[in-house]
Structure 1
Amino acid sequence: MDQNPLVDIVLPPALFIIMVGIGLTLTARDFSREFKGPRGMILATLAQVLVMPLIGLGLAVALSLPPVLAVGLMIIAACPGGTTSNLITYLARGNVALSIVLTVIASLVAVITLPIATNLALQWQPSVADGVAELSVLSTIATLVAVVLLPVSIGMFIRHRWPRQALKAERAVSVLGTVVLAILIIGIIVSLGDEAWTMLAQAGVAAVLLSLVGTLLGVGLARLARLPFRSLLAVGVELGQKKSTLGILIGVTILGSHELAVPSAVYGLVSFASALLIIAYGRKRISKAEHLRTLAAETVGGHAPETTEAAGTP
């Protein structure tokens, strides 16, 4: 496998900027509103941290994935949702404020849980661990703090200090995230050489199933918890849409293996299938008029109108 300097150099600073973008969408009021009724927040976070890695493990075993792809699938399964989940929730007419809060909380928790899950996956497949850089949990946590916690805090400060400028910047960062993911996927495919299409085909089914099962898990758990329908959509999207760039960071930058990043790269391509399903589901259940009334009611909270301006009313 050939290393790709473009992927190695571009990924960390690009992910930092993307995480600043998440912070730009968030205010302290969003946290306070969701903490008043924390069922959805607690439910989704626990499922993200505990259940999704187990689903990744189950799929890897059931599909008899090669060890390197099995570990890579475990890594993306342990990743939080990304900014894409916020947009998808909005298009599905779901609870956008909850979606943003879930993304931030899951990202912060992942600073601790993601390196632990990765280390456990490498212990499960020692043949993979022998071929990659040694994973230090503490140094990995420090890296994730630098590219997750710090930029989110910076983004929230900018949003608080310069709200109008933050809204404009958030749009640009959203576009950047899509462009960066496309560059990373292309770079990884090039670096894999002749092995690329075989590995992509092997990881494809697992990535599709992980996204679909995650979405259905979120919807099912939210129903059991009797969450409002708009919150149900937010939880379903959050568990079905992972931050692929973070999974790629773990594989390429921290572990030094482009093969380990393949499931994350493939996931970034195929997870839109489950996104389209939940968007169609939400828009069928919630009329445009009802959605607009809800946005108007949320105006007091100060978040919905800016989201509407940024994305357009669906």
Structure 2
Amino acid sequence: MSIWRALSEKMAVFTVIFAVVAYAFPSAFLIFKDVFLFCFAATMFALGVVLKPEEAQSAIAKPLSIALGVAMQFWIMPMLGFTAALIATWQGASPAMALGFIIVGCAPGAMASNVIAYLAGGAVAFSIAMTMVATMFSPILTPLLVDLLGSAYMEIPFWPMMQTILLSVVLPLALGMALRTRLSSSKLKQAEVIAPGIASIAIIIICGYAVAGNHEQLANTPAIVFVLVVLLNGLGYLLGWFAGKLFRFERSYRITLSIEIGMQNAGLGVALALQHFEPETALPGALFAVWCIVTAAGMTRWLHRNSHDADVPAAI
């Protein structure tokens, strides 16, 4: 079982290594183009196996926490994305590339955040609930916010997007939860070790594919774009954590809110940018997709080393 534990505990290291490999040999990762959504589905299936029923009940019992979390998701990150776009423009970046930061900021939370929340000791059910609600509202909120902040209109295919969510998130999650009920206690202990490792492999593949798929664009990206991606991600984590403290969330919920806000569904942002705008617009999203996985994976290690902090009782 040690290999599975190593995969989850050293995910940040493996992510960086395979991102470099993907950049040097993009063809090795472009083969995952047709199984990209299956990787997302694998992470959700793994989460279903480790998601405890009492955690799901706890999250459902706190609808106000979910509403506050989603509200922060669609306020903090769009504002940060708008600020990053202004700075990028001042530093000479093209308007198309600056718009990419707004699209990243206005996207819902990343599906991979659910796995990161589990590995970081967060509230998994709360993370899944936030991701699902934010994604369901994104066909309305994302284009409205992009239009407001970026003076651009972006049409999102609502029903195809919802179908993707159902097939790559809801269905595998339900299957994983169903499998959990059929496992003996000994098998369940094994599954709880293996599942995070499988999820980590899927995230590494997703990250590598994001690099490989944007190989040529990444080579010509201005330095300011890299700096702003780092700041956008880091400030998202920080402001998400302080928002959790403001709402008096318990520690696991603060961790989750920080991760949900700091990590964005940049893959969705890249797809939308490529479909509706110039290729340059997809660059910030491609960089963010890689960077947020690396930082989130590294954050899980830090949080585990500081896991003895006293919890603050939840007020909501």
Give SS of 2:214's match. helix
Structure 2 counterparts to residues 178-217 of structure 1, below 5 A: 178-190=204-216, 192=217, 196-217=218-239
Q: Distance in 2 between matches of 1:41 and 1:55?
A: 21
Pair 1:161–1:273, CA change in 2 (3 A):
closer
For the pair 1:158 / 2:179, whether they are aligned, the reply is: no
Match of 2:291 among 258, 270, 276: 270
User: Does the Cα contact within 8 Å between 1:12 and 1:249 map onto a contact in 2?
Assistant: no
Unmatched 5+ stretches in structure 1: 130-134, 292-314
Alpha-carbon deviation of 1:146? 2.8
Q: Paired residue for 1:37?
A: 62
One of 117, 122, 137 as aligned partner of 1:94: 122
Specify every segment of 5 or more residues in structure 2 that has no aligned partner in the other structure, as ranges. 1-25, 312-316
* 1:287 to 2:315 alignment: no
- Separation in 2 of the partners of 1:116 and 1:169? 37
Segment drifting more, 97-106 vs 43-52: 97-106
Q: Is the 8 A contact 2:115 2:196 kept in 1?
A: no
**Contact residue 96 and residue 277 of structure 2 kept, 8 A:** no
Is 1:112–2:140 an aligned residue pair? yes
Give the structure 1 partner of residue 155 of structure 2: 136
Q: Tell me the CA shift for residue 227 of structure 1.
A: 0.9
CA distance in 1, matches of 2:83, 2:161: 26
- What letter corresponds to residue 252 of structure 2 in structure 1? R
Match of 1:225 in 2: 247
* Counterpart mapping for 1:19-38 below 5 A: 19=41, 21-22=43-44, 25-26=47-48, 30-38=55-63
**Partner Cα separation in structure 2 for residue 176 and residue 280 of structure 1:** 19
Distance 1:74 1:208, change over 3 A: same
Are the equivalent residues in 2 in contact too, given 1:71–1:260 (CA < 8 A)? yes
1:14 matched to which residue of 2? 36
Cα 1:6–1:244, aligned 2, differ >3 Å: closer, same or farther?
Answer: farther
CA distance in structure 1 between the partners assigned to 2:28 and 2:147 by the alignment:
26
Q: Which amino acid aligns with 1:93?
A: G
2:89 maps to 1:53: no
| RMSD of equivalent CA atoms | 3.6
**Alignment match of 2:267 (pick from 245, 249, 271):** 245
Is 2:80 the partner of 1:80?
no
| SS of equivalent residue, structure 2 residue 109 | coil
Question: SS at 2:229's partner residue?
Answer: helix
Give the letter aligned to residue 85 of structure 2. Answer: A
The Cα offsets for residues 109-149 of structure 1, whole Å up to 9 and x where unpaired, read as 32432343344455x26xxx8xxxxx434xx2233223224
Q: Does the 8 Å CA contact 2:88/2:224 hold for their aligned counterparts?
A: no
The residue that corresponds to 2:9 in the other structure is none
Shift of 1:272: 4.6
Q: State how far apart, in whole Å, the 2-side matches of 1:37 and 1:46 are.
A: 15
TM-superposed CA distance for 1:233, in Å, is 1.0
Q: CA deviation at 1:273?
A: 6.0
Residue 157 of structure 1, CA deviation: 3.7
Q: Show CA shifts across 1:159-198 (max 9, x none).
A: 35444699678854652342133123222122x3xxx434
SS for the counterpart of 1:231 is helix
TM-fit CA distance, 1:69 = 1.5
CA distance in 2, matches of 1:120, 1:146: 27
The alignment status of 1:148 with 2:165, answered yes or no, reads: yes
SS at the partner of 1:271?
helix
Query: Normalization by structure 1: what TM-score?
Result: 0.71
User: Which whole-Å CA distance do the structure 2 matches of 1:188 and 1:52 have between them?
Assistant: 23
Structure 1 ranges of 4+ moved more than 3 A: 4-13, 26-32, 115-122, 160-174, 276-281
In structure 2, do the counterparts of structure 1 residues 70 and 281 end up closer, same or farther at CA, with 3 Å as the change threshold?
same
> Cα gap change, 1:46/1:262 in structure 2, threshold over 3 Å: closer, same or farther?
same
Identity %: 21
Letter in 1 for 2:201: V
User: How many residue pairs end up in the alignment?
Assistant: 271
- Give the residue type in structure 1 aligned to 2:219: W
**2:119–2:300 contact (8 Å) kept in structure 1:** yes
Structure 1 residues 147 and 173 mapped into 2: Cα distance closer, same or farther (>3 Å)? farther
Q: Does the 8 Å contact 2:96/2:281 carry over to 1?
A: yes
| C-alpha separation in 1, matches of 2:296 and 2:174 | 30
Distance 1:75 1:12 in 2: 24
